[in-house]
Homo-oligomer: A and B are copies of this chain.
Amino acid sequence: MKFEIPKEIERELQKKGGWSNIKKRLPADEIKQVEKVMKVLSYETRLRILYAMAEQRMCVCMLTELTKCSYSKCSYHLSKLKDAGLIKATRKGNYLVYSLTPFGRSIVRHFKKYKPEVKK
């Protein structure tokens, strides 16, 4: 199909250096990074973990209780959160204690501030 921009929008584009300029300015790297973070946060279990950790650092056994998931399932989700730079782990004796990174914290704060409004 042919590519034709409506007049009204064409005019707006002129002021911004044209269509090709808009396309060129897309921050490809940032978008890839954001995609990864979003993928990780697009799952209820992982969000529950994130929100709970905003209140309190936790070991995995607490998270299995909180999320009603098996260890292996929890572990899977924790590794996703970790790879995205949202949480970090430190060992305390036999336990691994997970807590939020500053970046993870900033996300929770954002959504407390800007509550989404989603179609039911």
- Listed in ascending order, the chain A residues whose CB lies under 8 Å from chain B are 1, 3-6, 8-9, 12-13, 16, 19, 22-23, 25-27, 30-39, 41-44, 47-48, 51-52, 55-59, 61-62, 64-66, 71, 82-85, 92-93, 95, 97, 103, 106-107, 110-112, 114-119
Q: Nearest-CB distance from A90 to chain B (Å)? A: 11
Known: A83-B119, A85-B117, A118-B84. Contact between A44 and B35, CB under 8 A? yes
B61–A1 touching, CB < 8 Å: yes
User: Main SS of chain A's interface residues?
Assistant: helix
B83–A30 touching, CB < 8 Å: no
**10 new A-B contacts at CB < 8 Å, known A6-B59, A8-B92, A84-B119:** A4-B61, A6-B97, A9-B58, A22-B56, A23-B52, A23-B66, A26-B52, A33-B115, A83-B118, A85-B116
